[in-house]
Structure 1
Amino acid sequence: MSRGNANEGLMTRAKGEIASMRRFWNGCDKPTPEEVKKLVVSAGMGIIAIGVTGFAIKTISYPIFRLLSGASMV
């Protein structure tokens, strides 16, 4: 197999993959405004839940670590 044939085969496969990707992309539907709103709300709730959990853990653990380290509670 010569170098030219190998490159042609590679280009043919690449063009086929690109065509497949375009068919997939064009077949996808854009989300409706309701779907976008649900996504934003659920992502926001997740971010808030993670923040509240981290705050609670930090709030509870800070005095415990101060007691264990022997620092005064002033």
Structure 2
Amino acid sequence: ESLRNAIEVVQPGAIVKPSMSSGGTDGREFRSAGIPTYGAGAITLVRPDDFRAHGIDERLPIKSYFDQLIFWDVLLKDLAGGQG
């Protein structure tokens, strides 16, 4: 519910669904240590930026960057029991 609320703030009406990332994260190390690990995010990419991931011209739209700051602020405050 917290994740859904945070996404709704930056992407109203977005469909929230689980997915699996083919990219590497530090989650593997945490899981190996017995720490339950989840990934989350609400980055919005549009063509051609979505094809530039990990390339020499990788970039993130400015709005998406600031939306991520808002997303994490709302999510973490909600999970901590505060106002999001």
Would you say same fold, with TM above 0.5?
no
> Which structure is larger by alpha-carbon Rg, 1 or 2?
1
Q: TM-score, structure 1 length as denominator? A: 0.29
- Tell me which of the two structures has the higher relative contact order, counting C-alpha pairs closer than 8 angstroms and 6 or more residues apart: 2
